[in-house]
Structure 1
Amino acid sequence: MRALWTASTGMEAQQIEIDNIANNLANTNTTGYKESRVNFESLFYQTVKSPGAYSSEYTQVPTGIQIGLGTKVSSIEKEFTQGDLQKTSNPLDIAISGQGFFQVHMSNGETAYTRDGTFQTNSQGQLVDANGYPLVPPITVPPNASSITISQNGTVSAAVSGQTDPVQIGTVTLANFINPAGLNSIGSNLYLQTSASGIPQIGTPNANGIGAIQQGFLEMSNVNLVGQMVSMITAQNAYTIDSKAITVANQMLQVMDGLIP
């Protein structure tokens, strides 16, 4: 019976939807997190009678008979919309207002990309992320620096003892991608380049379509709680109804078995 298979594909698809919603809700307060959206597509159709088939020598059927055999998840896509900017008291916290990613150098030599601007200094004075990965290009804060200023175009300056004017100690550059949804999420707020994302376009903040740097701010998660709750209720109801369809189909099969001698 087709309904058994078709309803089971719906239950499996809604289970993945619930898994994705749970992950989004769990990361509501994760800095720089981007909401994921599940995309579905229909499975193949069984054609009993093709649309436009001839019903007689001179007439054609207008619609035909095609029976769908369920659904499946086609992709889970990151939505790189802007999250709210939250003001902090840390001058090393920086947020991107617009497009772009910070670049960090991982311990395996690869460059990873992130929207999380929670930076600190390590024992050598280098700016590093929460995992200890240094910012790319590297920026080292002098030990005698009394304050740090980061402009919207990424210029990093430090007020150093004995110097009248602030000293420029580096520049924050950002990477942009043609298809950021094609990046590979590896956890820890990090992404890796893939053939789907395209190669990174490195540029100066606040220029050529790349976002501006906001010092003393962090970008919050862009998860829409109300939207996620609505999606969760819809997925739950769809899962329940699909399971009911399986029960009904099974009962119909039992009736048929009772009628067959």
Structure 2
Amino acid sequence: MDKMIYLAMTSAKHVELQQATTANNLANIHTTGFKAELNAFRALPVVGDGAPTRIYQVDNTVGHDLSQGAMQLTGNNFDFAIAGPGFFAVEAPNGGEAYTRDGGFLLDSGGVLRTRTGMAIAGDGGQLVMPQGALPDLRQDGTLFAIPANGGQPQEIGKLKLVNPVANEVYKGEDGLFRLNSGQDADADPTVKVKAGYLEGSNVNAVDSLVQMISHAKHYDLSVKLMQNAEQNSKQATQILSVS
């Protein structure tokens, strides 16, 4: 009976983790470049007396859905979106590189191209610095030109570092940035293409997420009822043995 309660408790615990992930996805439905998080669990056999077919769930692994989000036309010269697989490389706050699909950029007071959260955009040769007052002209392969304010000849600034590591080689951190499992920096990939004047929306499907939340809630209630029934059966069995 105790094992039945434990199995039901384990089920309720992991459904709660799934619900938290789904709720976080819904909260980021309007976050630029957001990739939905996914939960995966491992099933292990119960060791001990009883049927050998009994299993329970352990540890959750948070994965991610890298499918393309909807392209949103903004007309902003500093908005860029990756068309297809790949990432923008940025200089992470704790050092090294990190990767993002959020292409909403801006210039700081020194002309350095940065994300809207302040991280410098990585170029093939380091940071990308534009002259004051110039407008960006980003080519499909990531090459960045600066158009002078007076309308003169465009000046090549450098090339955005665009990477496309294998999906199972990256993980998503708590800061929303992707990194390689190896801890190394990814190599630039010339096949990654970008579009200027666009942003990629979140790939979270609101309807599917709401249905999942309802399903998780019902599954959680069922697990709790199973624990309650197991407890009641245990009490009734104890009473019968006491009378006997």
TM-score of the alignment, normalized to the shorter chain, above 0.5? yes
CA contact (8 A) 2:83 2:195 kept: yes
What residue number does 2:91 align with?
105
What residue number does 1:24 align with?
25
Larger Rg: 1
Deviation at 1:184, TM superposition (A): 4.0
Deviations 1:148-201 (A, max 9, x none): 2111111212222567532222211202212356324131x4223322x87512
| Structure 1 counterpart SS, 2:42 | strand
What residue number does 1:53 align with?
none
- Corresponding letter in the other structure for 1:126: V
CA contact (8 A) 1:101 1:174 kept: yes
Q: What is the count of residue pairs matched by the alignment? A: 238
What residue number does 1:173 align with?
161
**Unpaired stretches in structure 2, ≥5 consecutive residues:** none
Superposition CA RMSD, Å:
2.2
Q: Would the alpha carbon gap of residues 73 and 233 (structure 1) be closer, same or farther in structure 2, given more than 3 Å must change?
A: farther
Deviation at 1:42, TM superposition (A): 2.1
Deviation at 1:30, TM superposition (A): 0.8
CA contact (8 A) 1:127 1:140 kept: yes
**Unpaired stretches in structure 1, ≥5 consecutive residues:** 50-64
Pair 1:143-2:132 in alignment: yes
Pair 1:244-2:230 in alignment: no
Deviation at 1:93, TM superposition (A): 0.5
Superposed counterparts of 1:103-142, under 5 Å? 103-137=89-123, 138-142=127-131
Superposed counterparts of 1:151-230, under 5 Å? 151-160=139-148, 164-180=152-168, 182-187=170-175, 189-195=176-182, 200-204=186-190, 207=191, 210=192, 212-230=193-211
- Corresponding letter in the other structure for 1:5: Y
Normalising to structure 1: TM-score of the pair?
Answer: 0.83
Same amino acid, percent of matched pairs: 29
| Structure 2 counterpart SS, 1:202 | coil
What residue number does 2:6 align with?
5
Normalising to structure 2: TM-score of the pair?
Answer: 0.88
- What CA distance in whole angstroms lies between the structure 2 residues aligned with 1:76 and 1:108? 22
